[in-house]
Structures are given as C-alpha cells and as structure tokens.
Amino acid sequence: MMDALGEPQSVLVLGGSSEIALATVLALPRGRLRRVVLAGRPSPARDAAVATLTGAGVSGVEVVDFEAADTATHAQVIDGVFDAGDVDVVLLAFGVLGDQAEAEADPDTAVQIATVNYTGAVSVGLRVASRLRRQGHGTLVVLSSVAGDRARRSNFVYGSTKAGLDAFSQGLGDALHGTGARVLIVRPGFVRTRMTTGLEEAPMTIDPQDVAKIIVTALRKGKETVYAPGPLRFVMAGLKSVPRPLFRKLPI
C-alpha cells in the first residue's frame, strides 16, 4: 500500500533493465519499499539491475521473465506478479528506438519496433490496468516520449509508436478515473541512456536520474502528465503549432 506520505511498498518494472526505471526505483522513498519486481528478458543488463538495486540496499528484489513482443505470455506474467501481492507502482519502461533508415529500408524492422513499443504496451498495459482496478489502488507510470507529440521526418517510426502509446495511455487514464487506479504519462526528451548512445545530443538533454526525480515528484502530487525536463512542455506546445511546410525543414 502507498502510505500517506506517498511511500510505496511494492513496485513492478516492465522493462527490468531500463535505466530510467532503475533510476526511478532508486529515487523513490525507500523506507517502506519491500518488493521490487524486475520483469524483463534474462540478460546481463537485468542481472546488473538486480545487483545495482541490491547493492543500493533495496530489499525484496525479484525477477520475472517478460518479453514485450510475446503478448501471449503477458496475462500469466502479470497475474503471477499481482497474485503474490498488491502492486503500488508499475513502471512501463520497455521500448526500442530502432534505426529510422533501417526501418524504412526493411519494413519488418519497423514492424518489430511497433510490436514492442505499441502492441506490447497495449497488451500489458490493459492487463496491468485490470489488476490495478481490481485492487482499487495503484499507479501505472507510462514512459512515453516527446517524439510522440509530433512526428518528425528523422524518427517517425519510433515517434508514431510513442504517439500511439501516449494516446492509449491518456484514454486508459480516463477509463480508470474513479477506480482508485491511475495512469501517469511521462514524456521525456533526449535522455542519456544506452538507447541514445552515439546519437547527437539535443538541447535540454538530461540524465535518467533527472527523469526519475520528475517521476517521483509527479507520483507524490498525483499528476497525470509530466514532461522531462518540465519546460519541454512549452517547447513541444510551440513545435506542435509550427506549420508543416516549415516544420519539415526544421533541423530536428
């Protein structure tokens, strides 16, 4: 149960080796935390995540195998986690950036990106929502992206999956209104992670720890949508109103 000061007792991370999710778990108040489930593909990255959390003194770290693209297995994974106890915070943190040029050249690659980022998230998101609704409390934190705010020539395959995920999450949040369960949509800009290694940094680039702090504050305040960093909200509002003939010429 979340307590009066917003301290959770249990967290489920979907995308168990996500750096933003890991930073978020570490940034959460930990005085009452007793169960952290890292759901992800068995990998050295997932093992490292367990080691990082355990090393930081987080107790009750568990792992469960989870493959975002394998939607047929989602029900079993989610029911298994929730049957063992209530979950206060679920971080939906998996996703792939992919390579736009490769995706354009090989549509199968694009389908794979869409399957993980959108189809997989819809599948697991609905199952999580159903369990949160049944337990009458809990927050699903969805890692969306500013890339979904407006499709860009340079990464519209990834952007469109995040646009779909974002729209899905908004509707899901409205569907859950009044049920005790909530959805928090997080729209980070450029974050320095494995996913973006080698890419040229955009203005307002931040670290996973910065996103984590924003998520923790938003959880405590019961926010529905946050940008990371916060002022990106205004940048994106401006970009969204740029006419297309001009927008497609922008170097972004």
Partner 1 sequence: MTVIDATGADSPLSLREGEQTLTGWGRTAPSAGIVRRVRTVDDIRAAISDAGPRGILARGLGRSYGDAAQSGGASILDLSAMNRIELDPATGTAHVGAGASLDSVMRALVPHGWFVPVTPGTRMVTVGGAIAADVHGKNHHRDGTFGSHVETMTLVDGRGEVHVIDRESSPEAFWATVGGMGLTGIVTQATFDLIPITSSRISVDTERTSSLDDVMDRMITGDDAYRYSVAWVDSVHPSGRGVLTRGDHASADQLAGKAAQAPLEFEPKVLATAPPIPTNGLVNPLTMRAFNEAWFRKAPKQRTGELQTIAEFFHPLDIVQDWNRVYGPSGFLQYQFAVPDSAGELVGRALTALRGVGALSALTVLKRFGAANPGPLSFPQPGWTLAVDVPAGVDGLGVVLDQLDDEVLAAGGRLYLAKDSRMSPAMMAATYPRLSEWQRHRDALDPQGVFTSDLARRLSL
Question: Among residues 172, 165, 214, which one has the least CA distance to residue 189?
Answer: 214
Q: Would you say 130 or 205 has its CB closer to partner 1?
A: 130
Closest CB 3 distance from partner 1, rounded Å? 4
Closest CB 225 distance from partner 1, rounded Å? 17
To the nearest 10 degrees (0 to 180), the angle between helices 107-114 and 156-176 is 20
List contacts with partner 1 (CB under 8 A): 1-7, 9, 29, 31-32, 34, 86, 133-137, 178-181, 221-222
To the nearest 10 degrees (0 to 180), the angle between helices 74-83 and 121-135 is 30
Q: Would you say 2 or 61 has its CB closer to partner 1?
A: 2
Q: Would you say 49 or 181 has its CB closer to partner 1?
A: 181
DSSP designation for 206:
B
How far apart (Å, rounded) are the C-alpha atoms in residues 68 and 74? 8
Q: Which of 66, 158, 168, 190 is catalytic?
A: 158
Establish whether 118 is a catalytic residue. Answer: no
The per-residue DSSP string of 39-52 comes to EE-SSHHHHHHHHH
Closest CB 75 distance from partner 1, rounded Å? 17
User: What residues act catalytically?
Assistant: 158
